[in-house]
């Protein structure tokens, strides 16, 4: 499952008042009547594109760079993915530039496929174990997932979760692990977790499940219980991916971190996510 983004795009529909765009400087020269609104529109669009591109560059790599980071070539990377041993790309980005006027029409497009940077740690793991079959890779995934489950509920934060909702500590079912493995191979957890690795996938799934449970309760919680829930929110904040700006409003971060902090009186002035 690849997230597809389309960044950019400009079209002047009114040929009597053409908009001229400079693709390098990202400036526009509209007719004077429409200058203010057009400049504001393109300034906002440019800021959004810049923010998305900065996010992707921080957490993801294009195919060639990611293969190099794993010390393999592109063909070897694609072979690992085809064999079900390695996560696929998390994002496919299309950069489009359109500029139409009565003088000329120009359309440019570049495509890039982006992989989670931290997924190279999974390559190191399967290389160390000399794994060449998907069944063995799945066994490694489930072993690490189960180990993360055991360790979590022996730590303070897991014990708090279990104290507030005992059912949360139930071990995962095999069908759920199989589904998680399928999503892992598709690159989904590169989008929604901080590093896309089995331990963090466990933490995200159980943390989100817990927060959805407490958020669905209509009754108010006692102050001491809210204090414990706030500890879980802080922990989960480091597990869920930051998300690029265009995804935040519908993300698990919005639901389980931002909205939860409001619900449990832990608003963070530094948190600029959509509320």
Tokens encoding 257 = 């971190």
Q: How far apart are CA 189 and CA 240, in angstroms?
A: 10
pLDDT for the residue numbered 272: 47
Return the sign of the alpha-carbon dihedral for residues 146, 173, 186, 216.
Answer: negative
Q: How far apart are CA 144 and CA 22, in angstroms?
A: 51
Q: Cβ of 137: how many Cβ atoms within 10 Å?
A: 23
Q: Measured at the alpha carbon of residue 246, what is the angle toward residues 244 and 247, in degrees to the nearest 5?
A: 70
Contact 149, 134 (CB under 8 A): no
pLDDT for the residue numbered 266: 73
| pLDDT tens track, the chain, 275 positions | 555 555 544 333 333 333 333 333 344 444 444 445 544 555 666 788 889 999 999 999 999 999 999 999 999 999 999 999 999 999 999 888 888 888 888 888 889 999 999 999 999 999 999 999 999 999 999 999 999 999 999 999 999 999 999 999 999 999 999 999 999 999 999 999 999 999 999 999 999 999 999 999 877 889 999 999 999 999 999 999 999 999 999 999 999 999 999 999 876 544 544 43
pLDDT for the residue numbered 27: 40
pLDDT for the residue numbered 125: 98
pLDDT for the residue numbered 96: 83
Tokens encoding 4 = 């597809």
For helices 198-216 and 134-152, give the axis angle rounded to 10 degrees.
50
Q: How far apart are CA 272 and CA 275, in angstroms?
A: 8
pLDDT for the residue numbered 74: 98
- The 3-class secondary structure across the chain, one letter per residue, is CCEEEEECCCCCCCCCCCCEEECCCCEEECCHHHHHHHHHHHHHHHHHHHHHHHHHHHHEEEHHHHHHHCCCCHHHHHHHHHCCCCCCCCEEEEEEEEEECCCCEEEEEEEEEEEEHHHHHHHHHHHHCCCCCHHHHHHHHHHHHHHHHHHHCCCHHHHHHHHHCHHHHCCCCHHHHHHHHHHHHCCHHHHHECCCCHHHHHHHHHHHHHHHHHHHCCCCCCHHHHHHHHHHHHHHHCCECCCCCCCHHHCHHHHHHHHHHHHCCCCCCCCCCCC
pLDDT for the residue numbered 221: 86
């Amino acid at each position: 499952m690849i997230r597809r983004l389309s960044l950019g795009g400009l079209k002047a529909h009114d040929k009597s008042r053409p908009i001229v765009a400079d693709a390098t400087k990202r400036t526009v020269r509209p007719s004077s009547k429409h200058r203010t609104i057009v400049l504001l529109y393109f300034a906002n669009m440019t800021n959004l594109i810049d923010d998305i591109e900065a996010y992707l560059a921080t957490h993801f790599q294009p195919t060639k760079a990611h293969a190099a980071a794993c010390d393999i070539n592109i063909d070897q990377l694609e072979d690992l993915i085809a064999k079900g041993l390695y996560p696929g790309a998390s994002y496919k980005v299309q950069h489009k530039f359109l500029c139409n006027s009565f003088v000329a029409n120009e359309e440019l497009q570049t495509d890039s496929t982006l992989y989670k940077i931290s997924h190279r740690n999974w390559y190191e793991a399967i290389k160390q174990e000399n794994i060449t079959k998907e069944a063995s890779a799945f066994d490694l995934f489930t072993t690490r997932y189960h180990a993360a489950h055991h360790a979590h509920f022996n730590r303070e934060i897991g014990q708090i979760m279990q104290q507030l909702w005992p059912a949360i500590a139930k071990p995962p079912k095999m069908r759920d692990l199989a589904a998680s493995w399928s999503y892992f191979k598709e690159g989904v957890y590169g989008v929604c977790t901080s590093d896309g690795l089995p331990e963090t996938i466990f933490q995200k799934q159980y943390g989100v499940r817990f927060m959805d449970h407490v958020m669905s309760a209509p009754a108010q919680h006692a102050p001491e219980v809210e204090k414990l829930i706030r500890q879980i929110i802080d922990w989960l904040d480091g597990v869920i991916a930051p998300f690029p700006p265009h995804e935040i409003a519908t993300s698990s971060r919005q639901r389980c971190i931002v909205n939860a902090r409001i619900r449990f009186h832990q608003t963070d002035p530094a948190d600029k996510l959509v509320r």
